[in-house]
Amino acid sequence: MKRPWPIVAVADVKKSSEWYMTLLGAQENHPGATVFNQIHDGAGTILLCLHHWGPSGPKGDHAWPPLSDPGDGPVGNGLLLWFVVDDFDAAWVRAKELGAPIHESPNKDNGTGMLAFVVRDPDGYYVTVNEARDAGAA
């Protein structure tokens, strides 16, 4: 099995971790972390990794160029975080409770034909939440 581990740079790992855990009804692997955290579903599948802007490591010696400086380009240019959830209605309620800026309210996505909504996270990334396709559907 192959799974991606998308990593996004954020200003505040703790704040972003709480935001994503709330939106997705998820958990974290590194509670209280300030440099790196992993958001996962209840079964342990990694959904998203969060990395603070800038180098990490004991001496700041572990640097990933696209995570090093938020001033190097527009935040999120070329990136759309897309999550498929099995609790779509509850996720929409959680997004509103978070006060997430809403880019698109729930609507039938023209690509998937499923309900989806788009919000902005605390760092300005666009986050799409898409309902899961019924396993019995074609």
At 17, is the secondary structure helix, strand, or coil?
helix
Q: What pLDDT, on the 0 to 100 scale, is given for residue 136? A: 47
Kindly list the domain boundaries of the chain, sorted by start residue. Answer: 7-55+75-131
- pLDDT one-digit tens code per residue, 14-39: 999 999 999 999 999 999 999 999 99
Question: Do 95 and 87 contact (CB within 8 A), yes or no?
Answer: no
Q: How far apart are CA 121 and CA 114, in angstroms?
A: 22
Buried b (16+ CB within 10 A) or exposed e, 3-28: eeeebbbbeebbebbebbbebbebbb
Q: What pLDDT, on the 0 to 100 scale, is given for residue 1? A: 66
At 76, is the secondary structure helix, strand, or coil?
coil
Q: What pTM value is reported for the model?
A: 0.85
- Domain boundaries 7-55+75-131, CATH class: alpha beta
